[in-house]
Every structure is written in structure tokens, then in C-alpha cells.
Structure 1
Amino acid sequence: MPFSDSETREEPTWFNSNVAGSYAPSSIRAQSPLRKVCTFSNGGRVAEFQLVPQHWEHAKTGMLFGEKISAVALAVFLYRDFRFAGENATAQDLVKIFRDEFGYREQKNEEVEQFNALFIESHEILSNMEDIFSPLAG
């Protein structure tokens, strides 16, 4: 499970007992690493998150323990319930969708640097996407 540090602590940092409410601004505690990465406005269903300047530096130290995470594994987790048009999705396809949706487009140097600070983009992690995704029946 991404963002779980249950191996290092008795209580998970990333989740409250109510997982769905864990990321509501009212549930994010003052000491949460997320407070160093985002600012929040409004609340409830109209809550808005805004990344702070140099958010990637805070995320890497406070949330990733100085390590990078696999962009492929995160994309597979995030898009696990989505349907993809076309023949066969590849790891590269998923990472491209992830980069586009989360603002890490390859056309801008600053966004590439931010992406590279946080993620490993090794596509070899998932050599056989058929093991992860299955075609939808007709």
C-alpha cells in the first residue's frame, strides 16, 4: 500500500481509522508532513489543496524519508480502477498519464526536476502489464 509506513511505527502516519476522511483538511493534524507540502482553503466537499513552493523538497524529506518512490507502482495503484482505451497499456503509458494529470509534464524543465526529485521511473519494475491489468469483456 503506497504511503504506508506501518513497518516503522505502531500507528500509520498516513491514515486515520477513517481512511476516507484522512485527507480532509479538518483531519490533517498540525504535525502532519502534509501541512508542509500543501495549504488548504475551504472545507468539506469544496476543500482546495494548493502545493507550496518547493513542495517536492518537503515531500521527499517529510513523506518519503529521503527516498524516491516508483512512478510506475504509484500510477498502477492510482489507476487500478480505471479503464484504458486501446490495445495494451504499458508502464510508460501509465506514467505519462500520471505526469500529465499531476503537472509533471516533460516539456517544462522545472516540472521534470520536481518529478525526478520524487520518483524513480523504472519501467522494468512491471515487465508484464498483463499480470496487473486484465482486458474488459466486450
Structure 2
Amino acid sequence: MPDQDDPTHVLTIAAVRWGIDTLGEQKLHPTFVPYLYLREQARAGLLDSASSGSSEMLKLIEMPGHPTKPNYFPLISRGKRDAGPLATFWRASNIAGSWSPGSIGRQVSWLEVPGGGAYAMPDDHVQRALTDMLYGAKVSALALGAYFLRNDGFVLSDAPTADDVIDAFRDRFDYPVDADDEFEPLFSTEVPDVDFEWFEEVTPELSAEFTPVEEEPSDV
């Protein structure tokens, strides 16, 4: 259990870049981003009030650095996948509109009730996501965590590792152990040998700028 004296660590630029490159090499449907959000909302009983414009979802993809396109995510289903970061990873501000009820169904029909107007999460959504969004291949939970948690600060009692990124990804998107039947078909958890550090420590002054991620208390 962390205490107030434990330092805050953040993912290194190299770790985030690895996540981007790893995701960019795989064919992934862009709607996997709202799927993760909507599934989390459904588990909380909040699917009816879920919004494609929610800050909870948009902060996953918002990225400074482009003069006209505020969103960035390396999940694409078309184009080359061997040239590093692509210009198509940048997305316009209207991406939330394309993921709204009435629009998302034109991309993935089962995320919307028949006739549109509301989100849906069918009982067989895991298999549908694997087939329609991941094209039959698991995606790296570490790569998704390295990108989606790039603005989070990790406050842990021990030095953080790549496994902590996977644990934080599972916690962020509500994949506890009792949801392994939903997690394991979609995500791989391999940790590669890399020549960079996953984390770096930040000063107390800077730590306030990051969303805190703390380890779960032990059940023992």
C-alpha cells in the first residue's frame, strides 16, 4: 500500500512511443476505443447515460501538437503498418460525433440498438469485438496501457514495472480478475525485452499535473 512519501512515476516517452508503434503495427478498428469506454459504462450500469463526448473518453485520445486535429490514437484498420507513426493517427475534433448513437452503428452495428438513438452492449460483445475490431488477433494490454495512461502518475510502494502498466490498464477499464473471461480473449499480456526504461520519477511539483494511479490494497 503506497503512502504519501512514495514517489510518483510516469511512463517515459520511449514507453509511450513503444505503445504507439506496437498498436500501429496491428490492424485495429478505431471503434475499439469507444467499445472499451462503453463496456466500462455498461458494467457500472451507466450505459444509458454514456456519451461519446465525455471527458473520460476523450482524454484517452486528446493530444497536443497538431494545429487543427486535437485527437491522436494509433488504431487504424486501413493503410500501411510498417512506417512508424502515421499522419492518419491524428483525428479531427468531430471524432466524438462519429462515435455517437446514430453514427457508430454505421461502423459497428452491434454497439447501437436497432434503429439508432442509444448504445447497446450485447451479451456476446467479447467475441464480436475480437472478430470485428481486433480481426481475430489479441491486442497488447501493455501497449494500450502505455498509450492510454501516458498522462497518469503511478504512486506505488515498489519501483513500477511493465506489469504495473497492465494492472493499471485493467483497473482503468474495469477488468478485475472476475472478468478474466472478457479480458483474456481480447488482450495479450506479454512483456517484451526492451532497451528503455518504462518509468521515470517526477518531482513533487510536477506530480500534481498527472492523474494518480495507486495500487489496489491487498486482499491478504
- Pick the TM interval, shorter chain: 0.5 to 0.7
Partner amino acid for 2:143? A
What is the TM-score normalised by the length of structure 1?
Answer: 0.68
Partner amino acid for 1:64? L
- In structure 1, C-alpha distance between the alignment counterparts of 2:162 and 2:117, rounded to whole Å: 35
2:203 paired with 1:137 = yes
Give how far 1:55 is off.
Answer: 1.3
- Corresponding residue to 2:136 among 47, 53, 66: 66
1:38–1:52 Cα contact (<8 Å) kept:
no
Q: Give the superposed CA RMSD.
A: 3.3
Deviations 1:31-57, CA, capped at 9 Å, x for gaps: 312x42466867xxxxxx553322111
Q: Which residue of 2 aligns with 1:36?
A: 110
RCO greater where, 1 or 2, for CA within 8 Å and sep 6 or more?
Answer: 2
Deviations 1:47-85, CA, capped at 9 Å, x for gaps: xx5533221111111111111100111111110111111
5+ long unaligned stretches in structure 2: 1-19, 21-73, 81-87, 205-220
Give how far 1:125 is off.
Answer: 2.2
5+ long unaligned stretches in structure 1: 9-13, 43-48
1:134 aligned counterpart, secondary structure: strand
Q: Which residue of 2 aligns with 1:53?
A: 123
Partner amino acid for 1:117? P
Stretches (4+) displaced over 6 A: none
Partner amino acid for 2:75? F
The count of residues paired between Structure 1 and Structure 2 equals 121
2:102–2:112 Cα contact (<8 Å) kept:
no
Percent identical across equivalent pairs?
23
